[in-house]
Amino acid sequence: MPNLKHKIAPFMRALGLSIALLLISACDDAPQVNGEVLSKFDGEKVASSSGNFDLSIWPELPIKPKEASVETKIQEIIAGMTLEQKVAQLIQPEIRDVTVEDMRRYGFGSYLNGGGAFPNNNKHATPQDWVALAEAMYQASVDDTLDGSSIPTIWGTDAVHGHNNVIGATLFPHNIGLGATNNPALIEEIAGATAREVMATGIDWVFAPTVAVVRDDRWGRTYEGYSEDPEIVRAYSAAIVKGLQGGYGESNFLDDDHVISTVKHFLGDGGTQDGVDQGNNIASEQDLFDLHAQGYVGGLSAGSQTVMASFNSWHGKKMHGHKYLLTDVLKDKMGFDGFVVGDWLGHGQIKGCSNQGCSQAINAGLDVFMAPSDAWKPLLFNTIAQVKSGEISESRINDAVSRVLRVKIRAGVFDKPSPANRALSGKLEIIGAPEHRAIARRAVRESLVLLKNNAQLLPLNPNQRVLVAGDAADNIGKQSGGWTITWQGTGNKNNDFPGGTSIFQGIEHWVSEAGGVAELSVNGDYQQKPDVAIVVFGEEPYAEGNGDIATLEYQAGNKRDLALLKKLQARGIPVVSVFISGRPLWVNPELNASDAFVAAWLPGSEGIGVADVLFRAPDGTVRYDFTGRLSFSWPARPDQTVLNRGDENYAPLLPYGFGLRYGEPSTFADNLSELRVPMPHQKAVTERVLFRKSVQLPLTGMAGRVTELQEMSSNVLEVAGLKIRTLDRELQEDARLLEFTGGDAVYALTADQPMDLTNTFGDSAVLRMQIRIGEISDSDVTLSMLCGVNCNGSVNLAPQLRALPRHEWQSIQVALSCFSEAGANLTKIDVPFQLRSRGKLELSFSEIVITNSESAISCN
C-alpha cells in the first residue's frame, strides 16, 4: 500500500483563501465594491507627480494636435451616454468568455482573442469564421435595444509575427530575427502585409509592436524584442506602426488596408531583474527613458493610437497602477492622446486590487481593462459602483471614454461598413498571399546571422548528398516559436501551416532541383554517407514567463544535440548547424562541434528562406549572401545573462553587430572554452518540476492507449479513452483536466533521456501532485514510473483517490520508494509520471513535482 498522504488545505493556505474569495465574488452578479478594503491594502509607496521624479527627462513628442471636429463629436457622444455605457467602453472581455449576447446586453468598447483563442474554440476556424464572429459582435454592439448604446465595438488580436492565430496566415520571423535584418523598410512592409491579413478577418486592432529593449536574455519574451539596444527598437517601432496604421497624417492613415496598432508593454518590460517575466525593473528614471522608452518615442511619434500597460513594476510599483508614468509622463508630458489598454488581468496584480475591481488602475491612467475569464462582469459592476461612490471621478471616466472614442473616430469605425462588408473582409486570397510569403521569405534570408564558417564550407553546392538532421529540420511549429496558432506555440504539426515550408522542405527543393539528394533523418542515421550534414536544432516553443530560464547554457541538462553533431563529425561529415532560438544562448560546445553555424532565430512559416542562403545556384553563383547582424550580443559564458552593447567590460563571444559574410573567415577556432559556469544565484535543486503551469521541458505530455501514445498540445485534446482540457486554477491555463471515459487510457509525461532521480533526491523523495477529483468509477487507477524496456514500478491509487472529497483541490504525495519497491530503477527514469485508468475518472492536476518530503516517509 503506498503511503499516500493527503492534506486538505484550501482554507488554511492564505493563497487558497484569497482565491476562494475571488471566485465567490466572480460568481456574483450584483454590483459590489469594497472601497475600504481596496484602498486599505494599497501599501505601495505612493508615486505622485510630486515625488522624486524628474519630468524634464521626458520629451514632448511630435504628436499632432487634436482635430476640433473629432473632439466635438466625442463631446456629443459622451453627453448622451449613461455611466453604464461609459464603463462598458472601458472593459475588454475575451472571446472564450464572452458571448454575442453579452455584447448586445452590455455594449463593450472592445474585446480580444488571446493567444490560441479562436472563433468557436476551433483551432481550424476559417477566415470566414473569424469574419462571422467579428460581424456578430459588431452588430450586437450597435444594437441598442438592451443597452441603449450603438457605439461600434473593436476587436484586438495578437498579430505579433503575422496574423499568428489564424491557420494559413503568413508567419514572419519573430522580432529578434527582424532585429538582425536591421532594415526598417522591410519591417514596414511586413507590418503592411500583417495589417492586410488581419483586415481580411474583420479585425480592427493589433497588439503589436512589442518595443521591449531586452537586457537579460533569460527573459522568456526575449524573442519578442528586436534588440538589446534602443537604436533599432526606436526606428523599428516607427516603421511597424506606419506599416500597420498607414502614414500618420497621410491619406492612408487607418484606411481600409490598415489596423490600429499598440506599442507595448509600457514601460520597462525588457529590463526586469534577472530577466523575470512580469518582474521588477530598477533602472534609474534616465535609463528608463534612454533605454526602455525609445520604442515609444518612435511609435507614438508615428501615431500609434494605443499603448499597452506592462505587467512589470518599476521600483516595486506595478505599471498598471503607476500614475506618474501612465498619466504625468505618457499622457501629459509626451502628449499621447489615444488610450492605454491594460494587459491580461494586469490590473489585478496591483496591491489592493483584484481581477474584479481596481479603481487604482483607472485612477492611475489606465483607460481600458483587459478582462479575460469571467472577471469582466464583476469588474464592470464594480467599476460602475466605484464611480458612483466617488472612488473614481466622473471626469476620469469621461477622459478614458473620450480617448477610446477618439481612436474609434480616427479609425473611422463609426463610418465604415460593418466588418463583413469591409474592403478586405473575407478575401481568402489575402491570408497567406504569395506576395506576403515572399516578404516573409526575404525577411528569413536577411535575418540569418552567420557565426562561423570554417574553410568557407558555406555556401553549399546543391548538387550533392545532403543529410538534414535535428528535430527542428522538418518542424514548422518549432521553427515558428511561441505565439504561433497556440499561445505557447506548442502542439502544432506541419499540416497546421498550409502554404508554409519547413527548413528541410526548402533544402530539399533546391537540392533536388539541382540534381542532388536531400535525406531527412532526425537522429542523423543515414542510408548512404552524405557529403555534408545540415543539423537544425534549438529551443522548443514557449511564450511569456514559461520561457524564463535560469542559465544561458543551451541544453544544460542534456546535451543531446551536441551528441548528434559529434556523431556526424566523428564519421568525417562536415556539419552545418542551423540554430533555432528565441535568444542568444551559450553554445560553445555546439560551435566547437560545427564547421559552420547559423543563428536562424525563429523564422516562421517560410523555412525555405534558410536554404535560399545556404545553397549556391546550380551554376555555382551565390544567390544570397548573409546580411544579418546580431542585434543581441552573443555570450562567451553561460552566466553572461546581462550582456549588452555599451557595457563596461564588454566581453561577448560575438559583439552586437557581428555577422560573417561569404568569404570572411571565422573569428574563432574549434577550441572555445567549454567550461560550464554555475550561475551565481542558481539555487540548490530542491525539486524537479514535471508540471507547473505547463509540462516542463524537456518532458512531453503524451496520451492514448498504453501501446500507442500521442503527443499532446496545449489546447483541447482528445484521444481514444481520454479527453484533456486546460483549466484555470490560479493563473490562466495553469491546470489540466483529464477525463478518462472508461476505455483503458494513459496520460504520461515522458523524457527523451533517462533521468537519475537518486542524484538530487534522497530516501524521503516523493512525487507530489495538486489534484482535484470529480467522477471516479471503481476500476484501478495506476500511477507508474517507467525506466525502459521491462522496467517499471506501479502503484494503484484508486482506493485513496476514491476516499478524497470531490471537486476540491488537494495535495497528495507518493513516496518514490513505492515505485522502486514495485520495480522501478530510479537512476534511469524516462517516464516519471504515467497515470492509467481503465474506468471512468475525472482528475484535474495543477502541479506535479518530485521533491524531498519534509516529514519521514516510507511506502507502508
According to the binding rule CB under 6 A, does residue 205 interact with ligand BGC?
A: no
Residues 408-437 that bind ligand BGC (CB under 6 A): none
Rounded to an integer, what distance in angstroms lies between the CA atom of residue 613 and that of residue 623?
A: 7
C-alpha cell belonging to residue 658: 557581428
Min CB(548)–ligand BGC separation in Å:
13
Q: How far apart are CA 270 and CA 272, in angstroms?
A: 6
Least spacing, CB of residue 155 vs ligand BGC, in Å: 12
Which residue, 343 or 595, has its beta carbon nearer to ligand BGC? 343
535 touching ligand BGC, by CB under 6 A: no
CB of 225 to ligand BGC, least distance (A): 12
DSSP H helices in 107-172: 127-142
Q: Is 375 or 397 the residue whose CB approaches ligand BGC more closely?
A: 375
Q: What are phi and psi of 421, to 5 degrees?
A: -110, 15
In this complex, which beta carbon is closest to ligand BGC, that of residue 496 or of residue 590? 496
Nearer to ligand BGC, 85 or 245 (CB): 245
Residue whose Cβ sits closest to ligand BGC: 114
As a whole number of angstroms, the distance between CA 697 and CA 701 comes to 10
- Total residues in contact with ligand BGC, by rule CB under 6 A: 13
Among 2, 107, 109, 116, binds ligand BGC (CB under 6 A): 116
Question: Which of residues 2, 93, 107, 115 is near ligand BGC by CB under 6 A?
Answer: 115
- Residue among 537, 299, 306, 523 at smallest CA distance from 408: 306
Question: CA angle, 804 as apex, 798 and 808 as ends, to 5°?
Answer: 125
**Residue from 248, 344, 537, 626 binding ligand BGC (CB under 6 A):** 344
Smallest distance from ligand BGC to CB 544, Å: 6
Nearer to ligand BGC, 112 or 413 (CB): 112
Which listed residue (544, 590, 606, 612) is catalytic?
A: 544
The 726-745 site mask, x for binding ligand BGC (CB under 6 A), equals ------xx------------
Distances (CA, A) of 312 to 90, 93, 269, 341, 731: 21, 22, 6, 15, 16
Site for ligand BGC in 779-818 (CB under 6 A): none
Per the annotation, the verdict on 328 as an active-site residue is no
Cis (ω within 30 of 0) for the bond into 267? yes
For the stretch 370-395, what's the b/e string if a residue is b when 16 or more beta carbons lie within 10 angstroms of its beta carbon?
bbbbbbbbbbbbbbbbbbeeebbeee
Q: Rounded distance, CA 504 to CA 507, Å?
A: 5
Binding-site member from 205, 207, 219, 586 for ligand BGC (CB under 6 A): 207
Among 296, 487, 597, 634, binds ligand BGC (CB under 6 A): 487
Residue (306 or 594) nearer to ligand BGC, CB: 306
Q: Which helix (H) or strand (E) holds 308?
A: strand 306-309
The pairing of strands 596-601 and 575-580 is parallel
**Of positions 158, 446, 519, 612, contacts ligand BGC by CB under 6 A:** 158
- Which regions of 395-479 does DSSP assign to beta strands (E)? 449-453, 465-469
Provide φ and ψ at 576, rounded to 5°. -105, 120
- Best CA proximity match to 620, nearest among 532, 516, 514, 517: 514
Q: Which three cell numbers stand for residue 534?
A: 545540415
* Binding flag, residue 279, ligand BGC (CB under 6 A): no
Residue type (1 letter), 568: L
Q: From the candidates 147, 277, 343, 639, which is the catalytic residue?
A: 343
The reply on whether position 548 binds ligand BGC by CB under 6 A is no
- Taking the complex as a whole, the smallest distance from the CB of residue 219 to ligand BGC amounts, in Å, to 12
Rounded CA gap, 36 and 677, in Å?
A: 51
Of residues 92 and 581, the one with the C-beta less far from ligand BGC? 92
CB of 197 to ligand BGC, least distance (A): 17
Q: Which of 74, 77, 117, 140 binds ligand BGC (CB under 6 A)?
A: 117
Query: Is 343 part of the annotated catalytic residue set?
Result: yes
CA separation for the pair 476, 499 (Å, rounded): 11
* Distance of closest approach, residue 814 Cβ to ligand BGC, in angstroms: 29
Is 343 near ligand BGC (CB under 6 A)? yes
Q: Which residues bind ligand BGC (CB under 6 A)?
A: 114-117, 158, 207, 264, 343-344, 487, 544, 732-733
Residues involved in catalysis: 343, 544
